[in-house]
Structure 1
Amino acid sequence: MSDDEKARAATIFDVARLAGVSHQTVSRVLNDLPNVRPATRARVEQAIKQLRYVPSPAARALVTRRTRTVGLIVTGAPDYGPSSTALHFNEAARDARYSVITSSMLETDAASMRSAAELLVRQNVEAIVLIAAHRAAFDSLDGIELGVPVVAVASEDRGSMHRVWLDQYAGARLAVEHLIGLGHRNIRHLAGPTDSMDATERVRGWANVMGEHGLPAREPLVGDWSPGSGYVHGRVLAEDREMTAVFVSNDQMALGVIHALAEAGRSVPGDVSIVGFDDIPEAEFFAPPLTTVRQDFLELGRDAMAGVLAALGDDDRMPAPRVPDLVVRDSTAVLGGTPAVPDDADRTAVSS
């Protein structure tokens, strides 16, 4: 590539990266605005010279202003939790009179994530919300100076990003304490993917409760969130005659586990109690209806927008984490087969 081609290819973001500043700082230098330290200004000017950057009129206009537009990046497959959170975030943004520009992507490599974020910034978003299943997506953006706040919907603390979250660890504790309260002692766990933050927190909750009660936490099985994965691991669990309960990291895998146990002649909850996680709309129509940990994705979506307003200085503070609830249905029973919920009780009553 010739020098002239390099000059034409260079963007304000290339200058910002080379100078180690935000694109907004570059814009202030280009527009000869105050509040830029001399050393920083010199560094930016050197980067402009080195890249032979020629700013466009649009780049010169790229200074801080209120556009009432927010960017949303959603990665991975359209699973129930992330999709529901994104939907309710969009509704909350509309209620706050903000528009949303969405980037949905399957790939979460660093280059793709950075490209998606920079494209949103070029469209003058005031902030970016990131909803992703895997920690690699968050790590790809951590430490990159975008010039706008990033609000992560993440159950782990990922670097310098603002964060809103549902407490997966606390939810897992509710599930396991419920099973132990029913007399179960040999409780297996079918976890989600190892690179999932939610799955990791649920493993931690299960293992800690088992340890606190002096019970062995055997190595968890690892699935991929799908019913098929639950079925494959359910066939393995069916051979474990000492196991009397399974905490499954999501409802979809729980469906597969129940099916595999039934094929092996082990009834739920007569022989094995099952607790899932999420409370998907189908959970109460499983056979038997599934005891599960309910996550409030509506409120999580609203929290994400509240987090944006807090990051922009329009609100007092970031939302506190939310603790899920336990929904007790027919898939769990007292050790020996007595239903956990009496016949005349509300089988979808929420307990916490």
Structure 2
Amino acid sequence: MRKRAVSMLDVAAYSHVSHQTVSRVLNNHKNVSFKTRSKVLEAIKELGYAPNLAARALSNGKTTTIGVLSYNSTLFGPASMLHAVQNAARDVGYAVTLATTKGVNEIAISAGIKELVQSGVDGIILITPLTRGNQISKETLSGTPCVIVEGESLKDIPSVNVDQLTGAQKAVEYLITLGHTNIAHISGPSTWYEASKRREGWKKALKNAGLELGPLEFGDWSANSGYRAIKEIVKGSNATAVFVANDAMALGVLKALNELKVKVPTEMSVAGFDDIPESEFLIPGLTTIRQDFLSVGKLSLELLMDRIEKRTRDSFHIAIQPELIVRKSTAPLITKR
């Protein structure tokens, strides 16, 4: 005999509230206390209740689904942010529909947004390397609430960003305190928001210290591109330290320096950005900048829900401060190559 599906009334009885309260929780209504919301969500989890999203969409005009537009979610940063957003959405009873872009230009981003809008999502979170050159028109969004994550803030669209510039500045300033004056930089792609801000932070730290810019090479976030870039830097300069725009490229840097017999950190200090799980297990452990992706996911979802529910707040643009993690890949300047 087929087992009866768990209903909203079952959830209400299990959590000792009315079915109207369960409905308010499912619809993310603001007039529900945190304690009651948590109790109902726990009951839903315990009973395995699966809301009829189609019926709810007909009754309140909402699909209880948010769309996430991402580019190259195999990279550590975008993948971590996507995971954080999915977890935050699940906590408030929302499903996630994912779309990926084929490029980082305005046409590709607009096409991805239109795809999500047409699928009927209640709101959209953009995890794309958005720069001011990639404007998002109101016509493209068609009135759908939107939040930008790790992209350049636009006036009319809420955003959550780790302070990339400050993070880069912290890394380079630390290298300067160790006595390094010729500090190279391996940047990410020139069109990416994160790469441009980290590049700007490198320049700002050197300028503030009265130092000239060191060698600059560009990579594509991969270990192979970092491997190639540091070889060019070693061949053409006397840099004693390098700030690498992400940890994956720094992995390639460490391999190349080992092959070139350049000792890390006594002859070349290396600092990265991201603090991927493998960073502390590299030889030597990688000094890097840690990004709080859990906060990014939670706050971006909160901003989006505020827009969906038409709630007001003091600021719709949030900057999260990164953290410098010091390990064995950086040291005071001892010898010059």
| TM-score of the pair, normalised by structure 1 | 0.73
For residue 73 of structure 1, what is the aligned residue in structure 2?
A: 69
The alpha carbon displacement at 1:303 in A equals 1.5
| Correspondence 1:261 to 2:257 | yes
Q: Using the alignment, how far apart are the partners of 1:113 and 1:241 within structure 2?
A: 39
* Alignment map for 1:2-13 (pairs within 5 Å): none
For residue 169 of structure 2, what is the aligned residue in structure 1?
A: 173
The alpha carbon displacement at 1:114 in A equals 3.1
Q: Using the alignment, how far apart are the partners of 2:281 and 2:194 within structure 1?
A: 25
| Correspondence 1:205 to 2:201 | yes
Contact 1:108 / 1:137 at 8 angstroms: preserved in 2?
no
What are the Cα deviations for residues 215-257 of structure 1, in whole angstroms up to 9, with x where unaligned? 0013521111111001111111222552111000001111111
Residue identity in the other structure for 1:332: T
Q: Using the alignment, how far apart are the partners of 1:179 and 1:190 within structure 2?
A: 15
Q: 1:326 aligns with which of 324, 327, 330?
A: 324
For residue 275 of structure 1, what is the aligned residue in structure 2?
A: 271
Q: 2:210 aligns with which of 208, 214, 225?
A: 214
For residue 161 of structure 1, what is the aligned residue in structure 2?
A: 157
* Max Rg structure: 1
The alpha carbon displacement at 1:97 in A equals 1.2
Q: Look up the SS of the partner of 1:66 in the other structure.
A: coil
Q: Using the alignment, how far apart are the partners of 1:204 and 1:109 within structure 2?
A: 21
Q: Look up the SS of the partner of 2:167 in the other structure.
A: helix
The alpha carbon displacement at 1:68 in A equals 2.1
| Shift in alpha-carbon separation, 1:96–1:219, aligned structure 2, 3 A | same
For residue 288 of structure 1, what is the aligned residue in structure 2?
A: 284
Residue identity in the other structure for 1:199: A
The alpha carbon displacement at 1:259 in A equals 1.3
The alpha carbon displacement at 1:110 in A equals 4.3
Q: Using the alignment, how far apart are the partners of 1:250 and 1:119 within structure 2?
A: 31
Q: Using the alignment, how far apart are the partners of 2:139 and 2:206 within structure 1?
A: 37
For residue 127 of structure 1, what is the aligned residue in structure 2?
A: 123
Q: Using the alignment, how far apart are the partners of 1:110 and 1:177 within structure 2?
A: 35
| Shift in alpha-carbon separation, 1:131–1:272, aligned structure 2, 3 A | same
* Alignment map for 1:1-352 (pairs within 5 Å): 65-135=61-131, 138-139=134-135, 144-240=140-236, 242-312=238-308, 313-314=310-311, 316-317=313-314, 318=316, 320-336=318-334
CA RMSD of aligned residues (A): 2.5
The alpha carbon displacement at 1:258 in A equals 1.4
Contact 1:165 / 1:300 at 8 angstroms: preserved in 2?
yes
| Shift in alpha-carbon separation, 1:242–1:137, aligned structure 2, 3 A | closer
Contact 1:292 / 1:327 at 8 angstroms: preserved in 2?
yes
Structure 1 gap segments, 5+ residues each: 1-60, 338-352
| Shift in alpha-carbon separation, 1:63–1:142, aligned structure 2, 3 A | farther
Q: Look up the SS of the partner of 2:294 in the other structure.
A: helix
| Shift in alpha-carbon separation, 1:183–1:295, aligned structure 2, 3 A | same
Contact 2:306 / 2:312 at 8 angstroms: preserved in 1?
yes
Counting aligned pairs with the same residue, the percent is: 36
The alpha carbon displacement at 1:144 in A equals 3.0
For residue 26 of structure 1, what is the aligned residue in structure 2?
A: none
Q: Using the alignment, how far apart are the partners of 1:184 and 1:170 within structure 2?
A: 19
Contact 1:151 / 1:308 at 8 angstroms: preserved in 2?
yes
Contact 2:104 / 2:129 at 8 angstroms: preserved in 1?
no
| Shift in alpha-carbon separation, 1:230–1:142, aligned structure 2, 3 A | farther
Structure 2 gap segments, 5+ residues each: 1-56
Q: Which stretch has the larger CA shift, 263-272 or 313-322?
A: 313-322
Q: Look up the SS of the partner of 2:126 in the other structure.
A: strand
| Shift in alpha-carbon separation, 1:247–1:75, aligned structure 2, 3 A | same
The alpha carbon displacement at 1:159 in A equals 5.0
Residue identity in the other structure for 1:126: D
Q: Using the alignment, how far apart are the partners of 1:216 and 1:232 within structure 2?
A: 23
| TM-score of the pair, normalised by structure 2 | 0.76
| Shift in alpha-carbon separation, 1:62–1:211, aligned structure 2, 3 A | farther
Q: Look up the SS of the partner of 2:256 in the other structure.
A: helix
Q: Using the alignment, how far apart are the partners of 1:63 and 1:137 within structure 2?
A: 40
